[in-house]
Amino acid sequence: MPVQYTNRKGKIYFLHEGSTKKGNLKYTLSQSKEGALNIIPEGYEIYENPNAQVFLRRIKPKLIKKTEEILVKEKLIKLIEQKYCKLTIEKKTITIYLADQDVEKIREIWKNTPRAQKEGVEVLIDQEITYSPVIQLVLQSQKERLFVVKIVDYEEGNRMWEIVNTPDRLEYLIPIISEEIDIETYYSFPF
């Protein structure tokens, strides 16, 4: 049976093998079932980013402990459940993404549409909402488990990450995250 993956938008992807211009092996995911592989190569995983793009990538070691991931998720659980927020964990960084659209306003607008009646509002939100990175928690000291908080700043269209604290333990940085993720203020800015 071919390897398949369904992303949050409901699109089904199949794993394929190909080669680069130099003849090296490469893997891709596409919506074509024809010629799909039956197994994921050893040392690889299927990864879906917050905007539902799907990739095959090498499995990377994570330096973030499960307890640290849980601590951040517990703080953001309401926003995650309401689809305002997504997290990614890469090596030594926890990245917090916020929805580019005001999800509650979108729910209100879409709730009575024929498409929402047929498919469900939450399905539509999964299909349409996009996310942008806004905060990173970066592990600075693996031994002492010290993190810094980086906040995104867009200068002349370029994404810049600005460190807003000295290294500290994650539990002490949670209030900084709370201050920065103020949904009412975030969606009140005219874009």
| Mean of the per-residue pLDDT values of the chain | 91
Res 72: pLDDT? 95
- In 3D space, the residue among 162, 134, 166 whose CA is nearest the CA of residue 148 turns out to be 166
Considering Cα of 50, then 51, then 56, then 60, what sign does the dihedral take?
negative
Instruction: Quote the strand ranges of 34-188, DSSP E.
Output: 44-48, 54-58, 85-90, 93-99, 131-141, 146-155, 158-163, 168-169
Residue at token pair 């659209």: 101
pLDDT band at 188 (very low <50, low <70, confident <90, very high): low
For the beta carbon of residue 4, count every other beta carbon within 10 angstroms.
14
User: What are the residue boundaries of the structural domains of the chain, listed by start?
Assistant: 4-58, 66-186
Spatial contact of 162 and 150, defined as CB atoms under 8 Å apart:
yes
What does the pLDDT read at residue 186?
A: 67
The Cα–Cα gap between 93 and 62 comes to: 9
88-137 confidence digits (pLDDT tens): 999 999 999 999 999 999 999 988 999 888 989 999 999 999 999 999 99
Higher pLDDT, 47 or 188: 47
DSSP state of 152: E
pLDDT of residue 21: 93
Q: Which long-range contacts (CB under 8 A, 24 or more apart) does 167-174 make?
A: 167/140, 167/141, 169/145, 170/68, 170/71, 170/72, 170/137, 170/145, 171/71, 173/137, 173/147, 173/149, 174/71, 174/72, 174/75
Q: What is the mean pLDDT of residues 164-168?
A: 92
| Residue range 11-48, pLDDT digits in tens | 999 999 999 999 999 999 999 999 999 999 999 999 99
- Which of 21-25, 65-69, 97-101, 184-188 has the lowest average pLDDT? 184-188
